[in-house]
Structure 1
Amino acid sequence: MNDIQKTFADHGFVRPREDRVLAGVCAGLGKRFGLAPWPARILFILILFVLPGSQILVYPILAILMPSEQSVMDRPSYPGPTTA
């Protein structure tokens, strides 16, 4: 699970501490793709109308897989092996 969350964090998919309504998934996706939180939420709801039910499954999965911004900041960073 930590490997998956690290991969998400490396690609910029992180749930921010600020601007959360539920778990912060829409705010995190908006931040990743350069949108403000509210337009990202509105887009999420509009997609719900086009593909009913899909977001009901996707949102909780992303809430589990996307690490919180706080946990990413608290994680120690270990430099990779260096070659001289």
Structure 2
Amino acid sequence: MTTDATPPYRQLRRPTTDRMIAGVASGLGRYFTIDPTLVRVLFAVSAVLTGGLALLAYPVMWFLMPEEPPTAPAWPAQPQAGPTPPVS
């Protein structure tokens, strides 16, 4: 039996690297596999369009999103090399 440390699902976490303030936008970008800069721009635009109401979401997400453990693999996660199947 082999144990794999990576879960079979994506996890929404704030990374310890690649963060500007708290890592919320970077964590959302990693979760949805889009550029964190795009998340930051969308967040800024939504803050302007809602008259600043969207700014309340940032501290809520900061509080609710757990921080990534220091042992997490680098992002984007590189596929691990394993045995190649025999070619027949």
What corresponds to 1:16 in structure 2?
15
TM-score normalised to structure 2 length: 0.62
TM-score (norm 1): 0.65
**Percentage identity across paired residues of the two chains:** 36
Q: Size of the alignment, in residue pairs?
A: 64
Change (3 A) 1:50 1:69: same
- Counterpart Cα distance in 1 of 2:39 and 2:71: 22
Report the Cα distance in structure 1 between the residues aligned to 2:49 and 2:12, rounded to whole angstroms. Answer: 24
Does residue 57 (structure 1) correspond to residue 56 (structure 2)? The answer is: yes
Unaligned runs of at least 5 residues, structure 2: 1-8, 73-88
How far apart in 1 are the matches of 2:51 and 2:59?
Answer: 15
Instruction: State the match for 1:37 in structure 2.
Output: 36
CA distance in 1, matches of 2:69, 2:44: 26
Residues 16 and 70 in structure 2, CA contact (< 8 A), matched pair in contact too = no
1:26 partner amino acid: A
Query: What's the counterpart of residue 80 of structure 1?
Result: none
Q: Alpha carbons of 1:71 and 1:58: their partners in 2 closer, same or farther (altered >3 Å)?
A: farther
Q: Considering only aligned residues, what root-mean-square deviation do their CA atoms show, in Å?
A: 2.0
Structure of greater relative contact order (alpha carbons < 8 Å, 6+ residues apart): 1
If each structure's helix is expressed as a fraction of its own residues, which one has the higher value? 1
1:69 match: 68
The whole-number CA distance in structure 2 between the counterparts of 1:29 and 1:51 is: 20
SS of match in other structure, 1:14: coil
